[in-house]
Amino acid sequence: MTAKNQNITIRGKIVFDVPNVTRKHNRQADWKRIAMVVFEDDMTEYYAWFIKRRYNITLNKPLRGTHITFINDSIREIKGGDKVWEMVRKKWDGQEIEVILDLDARTNVEYWWLKASSNVFDEVRTELGLGEPFFSYHMTVGFPNERNIEQSEYIHDLILKFGGEYN
């Protein structure tokens, strides 16, 4: 979408124990712990507009708006369980942090995202005794609806064919 290594720095607020907004989240609420950085803006809509203009793909918005989930782990993986979770939550919940976004949009066909990084993500995960996340840090821009999934697949294949890096 943009030139390689074009980054911006944005500020957001850490939120622990986010409200359940999906049935899946409701089913997992008793054993899964989630923390994210939320942004009070329409940045995902802004970058979805660029994807629409460049690739003719309309994206549905993320359910939670503009955010980056950096903890989405089982309580069993947290060293010290709920006691440590509460201690770390009290320290970090509500803190404003800086996040670096790589503006080169990426896709796996089903989702489009921007890579994200912040030293705070790793610091908080380390305090909880967690290793690397299953998915790298990212801000989901959106996902194509059923009318746009074939176009998303076509663009994804072209990007890979011409040496693009989409992971």
HEC per residue, the chain: CCCCCCEEEEEEEEEECCCCCCHHHHHHCCCEEEEEEECCCCHHHHHHHHHHHHHCCCEECCCCCCEEEEEEEEHHHCCCHHHHHHHHHHHHCCCEEEEEEECCCEECCCCEEEEEECHHHHHHHHHCCCCCCCCCCEEEEEEECCCCHHHHHHHHHHHHHCCCCCC
Predicted confidence (pLDDT) per residue in 77-114, tens digit? 899 899 999 999 999 999 999 999 999 999 999 999 99
Average confidence score pLDDT of the chain: 89
Write phi, then psi, for 67 (nearest 5 degrees): -160, 165
pLDDT for residue 23 is more than 90: no
pLDDT for residue 151 is more than 60: yes
Which residues make beta-bridge pairs with 100? Answer: 9, 117
User: pTM of the prediction?
Assistant: 0.87
10's CB contacts (< 8 A; 6+ apart) are: 39, 43, 98, 99, 101
pLDDT at 29: 58
Q: Report, as an integer, the average pLDDT of 135-158.
A: 93
